[in-house]
């Protein structure tokens, strides 16, 4: 099986092909860009024609590979991208991405303004002070830049108090180097079945808009919906939605799972490195948190918590091999884990098991891990480390067959 690396960064002393072969021997991530495109098209069709889709590709596109994913989603209907940091935006620009990029994080210094102006990244402004710093730096550069004003309607994170929206807009309108591109906010509880907090935030956003209109100020582009709000209610869509998790094939909450048929795009696979048989009563791994009850064939798999497999999943997860679920046993270590192969004693060094993804009729998702590790699927996806190379594959969803993308 040959592979196509996503955003490879080969060590100069090694030929790229040789490094690719070496890295593929242990553990890796496969990303189905066809699934990403299908998810994007579904979401695009879910929106009104006038509503734009911003694809959130921060945190290396939730671990999927930002450059490749950005190209895929833009080709499938997204019109803008969202990132959290300036380097994330710069990396997309260096790769030739020309679409609008919204910086969701804050900026505080003239140096940051100079960088985003050079790379044509559009900042979020949460305070009048940030607006003034941005304007002064741009004036010195002799440039102007689209900016997005963020309001805090109840997230209690970034954003100016929504009650100050009029004053904030008036300030920005008086700064010629700032081109007001949008006004936005962010929901804190859109994934909760209890809609009361969301409704309170929505009402605050609406009041801010009404106050702006009452002052006769032009209302810019509006957006507030993340993946959950996008799936929940079309009245929250406004002029644009900012979608992250749903692009990658996961639902923000179980009760939103009937809106679209999303395809998880990320799989994690690793090779068996050693096989042995343990006697009854033998402890396994650090702390002997698992002790065999009978003679047990086990396999060591070359992946661990340093790669992004949560140690909290020790003795709680399974892997897939030829459609069979095999339990993980003992503490997950930094670079390795052990599995009980009693159901597949023919497993041998070099064989590949699936940690996340599909094998036959069985599937393990990031949601499964999140439930068992008492966390969220976002954290699982973002946790896979750089030493796991990313490879592009193309899947036939109807037959569950995976082939290499040419």
Q: Which residues are annotated as a binding site for substrate?
A: 157, 334
Q: How many CB atoms lie within 10 A of CB 233?
A: 15
Residues flagged as binding site? 157, 334
Q: DSSP label at 64? A: T
Query: What's phi and psi for 135, nearest 5 deg?
Result: -65, -45
Which of 4, 24, 58, 129 is catalytic? The answer is 58
Cα Rg of the chain, angstroms: 24
58 classed as catalytic: yes
Q: Quick one: CA dihedral 164, 170, 174, 178, positive or negative?
A: positive
Q: Nearest-5° angle of CA 103, CA 261, CA 389?
A: 55
As to burial, measured by CB atoms within 10 angstroms (0-12 exposed, 13-18 middle, 19+ buried), residue 2 is: exposed
Q: How far apart are the first and last CA of the chain?
A: 12
Among candidate residues 207, 202, 247, the one with its CA nearest the CA of residue 223? 202
Supply the DSSP symbol for 284.
E
* CA–CA separation, 114 and 67 (whole Å): 23
SS3 label, residue 137: helix
Is residue 110 within 8 A of residue 131, CB to CB? The reply is no
Cβ neighbours of 38 (radius 10 Å): 20
Based on the number of CB atoms within 10 Å of its own CB, is 207 exposed (0-12), middle (13-18) or buried (19 or more)? middle
Selecting among 62, 129, 238, 286, the annotated active-site residue is: 286
Token pair recorded at residue 237: 């869509």
Q: Are strands 101-103 and 80-83 parallel, antiparallel or unpaired?
A: parallel
Q: In the annotation, is 290 catalytic? A: no
138-to-3, 180, 232, 326 alpha-carbon distances in Å: 45, 14, 39, 58
Tell me how crowded residue 289 is: count the other CB atoms within 10 A of its CB: 14
Residues tagged active-site: 58, 286
């Amino acid at each position: 099986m040959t592979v196509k690396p996503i955003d490879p960064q080969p060590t100069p002393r090694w030929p790229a092909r040789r490094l690719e072969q070496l890295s593929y021997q242990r553990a890796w991530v496969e990303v189905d860009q066809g699934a990403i495109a299908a998810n994007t098209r579904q979401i695009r069709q879910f929106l009104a024609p006038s509503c734009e889709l911003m694809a959130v590709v921060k945190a290396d596109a939730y671990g999927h590979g930002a450059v490749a994913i950005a190209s895929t989603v833009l080709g499938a209907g997204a019109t803008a991208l969202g990132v959290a940091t300036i380097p994330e935006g710069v990396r997309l620009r260096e790769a030739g991405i020309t679409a609008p990029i919204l910086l969701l994080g804050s900026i505080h210094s003239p140096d940051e303004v100079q960088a985003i102006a050079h790379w044509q990244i559009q900042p979020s402004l949460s305070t009048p002070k940030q607006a003034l710093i941005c304007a002064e730096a741009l004036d010195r550069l002799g440039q102007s830049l689209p900016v997005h004003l963020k309001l805090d309607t109840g997230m209690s994170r970034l954003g100016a108090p929504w009650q100050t929206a009029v004053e904030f807009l008036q300030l920005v309108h008086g700064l010629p180097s700032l081109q007001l591109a949008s006004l936005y906010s962010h929901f804190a509880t859109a994934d909760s079945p209890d809609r009361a907090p969301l409704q309170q935030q929505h009402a605050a956003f609406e009041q801010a808009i009404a106050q702006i209109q009452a002052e006769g100020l032009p209302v810019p582009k509006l957006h507030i919906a993340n993946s959950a709000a996008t799936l929940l209610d079309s009245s929250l869509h406004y002029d644009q939605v900012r979608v992250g998790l749903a692009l990658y094939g996961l639902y923000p909450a179980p009760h939103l799972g009937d809106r679209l048929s999303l395809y998880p795009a990320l799989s994690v696979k690793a090779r068996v490195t050693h096989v042995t048989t343990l006697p009854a009563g033998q402890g396994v791994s650090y702390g002997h948190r698992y002790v065999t009850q009978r003679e047990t064939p086990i396999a060591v798999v070359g992946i661990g918590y340093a790669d992004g497999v949560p140690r909290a999943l020790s003795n709680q997860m399974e892997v897939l091999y030829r459609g069979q679920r095999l339990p993980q046993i003992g503490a997950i270590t930094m670079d390795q884990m052990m599995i009980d192969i009693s159901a597949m004693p023919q497993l041998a060094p070099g064989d590949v098991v699936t940690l996340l993804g599909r094998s036959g009729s069985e599937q393990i998702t990031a949601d499964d891990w999140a439930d068992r590790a008492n966390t969220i699927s976002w954290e699982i996806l973002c946790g896979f480390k750089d030493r796991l190379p990313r490879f592009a594959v193309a899947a036939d969803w109807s037959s569950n067959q995976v082939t290499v993308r040419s």
